[in-house]
Homo-oligomer: A and B are copies of this chain.
Amino acid sequence: MSVISKKCSLLLVLCLLPVPVQAETESAHDTAVQLREAGMGSGLAWEIVEGLTTEVGPRLAGTEADHRAVEWAKRKLEALSFDKVWLERIEFPVWTRRHEAARIEAPYPQELHVTALGYSGSTDGEITAEVIGFADLDAFRNAPLEQVEGRFVFINQYTERTRTGAGYGDSVKVRYDSGLLAKEKGALGVLIRSIGTDSHRFPHTGVSTMANDPLPAVALSAPDADQLARIMSRGDSIRISLDIRVGFREAGHSWNVIAQLNGRETPEKLVLIGAHLDSWDLGTGAVDDGAGVAITAAAAHLIGELPQRPGSSIRLVLFGNEEAGLWGAKQYVDAHAENLENHIYASESDFGAGPVWRFDTDNPVLMEAAMPVLEVLGIEKGEAARSGGPDIVPLQERGVRIFRLRQDGTDYFDYHHTADDTLDKIDPEQLKQNVAAWAVVTWLAAELDNSSQGTSD
């Protein structure tokens, strides 16, 4: 039933198009199927993510390891089917961690597993103080100053496990806002329950908000947050010591690594796809975002292996320093400000290696061309995309059209921003499904839009 109705929709779209477009679309369909099958049969994405996470490993933006990652990626892309590979330099401050330790001193002495949030302040030696707990950010927001002043604050807000990442969208506010709020209220530092969905002894890092003279701000692993909450529920006063040594070490730099397939008809027009090359320092950045690098690079390469280029260009951007605040994405938009109207679409893969389950676009022509090819991959027809991925936000804000291949993120926040983000968390078969979907949609976007641009809105 579903197959028949999809085929009917496609036929209907084809009938509504002018005749030359219809012929192009039929040929596009065949090529898209060919790309899908190539994607499902390709080990390239695995090879890329295996190589990047093994031969580079953790690659905090601006560090020596990040610079090795840039070299690695440039060399890898040059060996693939792109017409051109180049670097665009980006600059930013580099925040790093040197030492982090936390301990319950009373009533029940024991170590706590913590990691500093990006842009956290240091403790300047060890600080010991009483801690006051809150169930969530709102409860903390409503707390009177005198409860908080001179104390550590513990915020035990949970992150809901969801396929879409909506749970993270809610709870990540704690990471962004609690440090600033705690400073306003006169606290000595902040401990938050990790913004994550696992129950393992891994604290999850991630940026907080950059500020002058920030408070020390750390995440506790979920079992440590549970432990602190249990002790708190006994009603005793709790004293914690924190020793956090972190900070800005120098003005840093990195590069956006860019590769392009030049379009055969309108090479100045381009479909931008990408991922971010940097990772947090704790894990090897496999699901965040080695997977996205691998998926989009492999998809673009497969398109580059076709006998002819698509009508428009395809540009692969491996953004630098996404993690500490979209530095590469912002600088891409500045550097290409005068050419943004030539970006037909932009989309990023930055949600792990789970399978794609839905395709979102506001373009009915692209949707109707893609869905008959995507549905055998288990992908549903979606709606207009609300986001194209974090590095796409600055482009979207300047009016660039987006699409999105939505992945199942049920497990993503188990590993996200932890030491446990390693290669073994990626299923090679799911990676192939992603490559297949990205190859299909990227190719159709670069091929069809040249002719259907006028009918797409």
Task: Name A's B-contacting residues (CB within 8 A).
Answer: 50, 54-58, 64-65, 107-111, 113, 199-202, 222-223, 226-227, 230-231, 283-284, 418-420, 422-425
A42 to B202 Cα, complex, angstroms: 32
Whether A199 lies near B108 (C-beta < 8 A) is no
Residues from chain B with Cβ under 8 Å of A110 in the complex: 56-58, 65, 284
Whether A199 lies near B54 (C-beta < 8 A) is no
Residues from chain B with Cβ under 8 Å of A423 in the complex: 223, 226-227, 230
Whether B422 lies near A57 (C-beta < 8 A) is no
Least CB distance from A416 to B in Å reads 14
Using CB atoms, name the residue of chain B closest to A230. B54
A57 to B110 Cα, complex, angstroms: 6
Q: Given that A108-B55, A108-B57 are contacting pairs, would A201 and B50 also be in contact in the complex, using a CB cutoff of 8 Å?
A: no
Residues from chain B with Cβ under 8 Å of A419 in the complex: 113, 201
Whether A230 lies near B65 (C-beta < 8 A) is no
Whether A230 lies near B108 (C-beta < 8 A) is no
A153 to B54 Cα, complex, angstroms: 20
Residues from chain B with Cβ under 8 Å of A418 in the complex: 201
A-B contact pairs, 17 of them (CB 8 A): A54-B108, A54-B231, A56-B108, A57-B227, A58-B110, A58-B111, A64-B109, A65-B109, A110-B284, A199-B425, A200-B200, A200-B202, A201-B283, A201-B418, A226-B424, A227-B423, A230-B423
Whether B284 lies near A54 (C-beta < 8 A) is no
Least CB distance from A103 to B in Å reads 11
A424 to B56 Cα, complex, angstroms: 34
Whether B201 lies near A420 (C-beta < 8 A) is yes
Residues from chain B with Cβ under 8 Å of A222 in the complex: 424
Whether B227 lies near A284 (C-beta < 8 A) is yes
A201 to B57 Cα, complex, angstroms: 14
Counting from the closest, the 8 A-B pairs by CB-CB distance are A57-B110, A223-B422, A201-B419, A201-B420, A199-B424, A54-B230, A55-B108, A223-B424
From B200, B230, B420, A223 is in contact (CB under 8 Å) with B420
Residues from chain B with Cβ under 8 Å of A420 in the complex: 200-201, 223
A77 to B37 Cα, complex, angstroms: 66
Least CB distance from A151 to B in Å reads 21
A258 to B297 Cα, complex, angstroms: 64
A289 to B65 Cα, complex, angstroms: 41
Least CB distance from A157 to B in Å reads 17
Residues from chain B with Cβ under 8 Å of A65 in the complex: 109-110
Q: Given that A113-B419, A424-B222 are contacting pairs, would A227 and B54 also be in contact in the complex, using a CB cutoff of 8 Å?
A: yes
Residues from chain B with Cβ under 8 Å of A284 in the complex: 110, 227
Interface centre among A64, A200, A419, A424 (most CB of B within 10 A): A200
Using CB atoms, name the residue of chain B closest to A224. B422
Residues from chain B with Cβ under 8 Å of A231 in the complex: 54-55
A111 to B283 Cα, complex, angstroms: 10
A200 to B423 Cα, complex, angstroms: 11
Residues from chain B with Cβ under 8 Å of A424 in the complex: 199, 222-223, 226
Whether B50 lies near A227 (C-beta < 8 A) is no
Least CB distance from A64 to B in Å reads 8
A199 to B426 Cα, complex, angstroms: 12
Residues from chain B with Cβ under 8 Å of A108 in the complex: 54-57
Least CB distance from A287 to B in Å reads 12
Residues from chain B with Cβ under 8 Å of A57 in the complex: 108-110, 227
Residues from chain B with Cβ under 8 Å of A200 in the complex: 200, 202, 420
Using CB atoms, name the residue of chain B closest to A420. B201
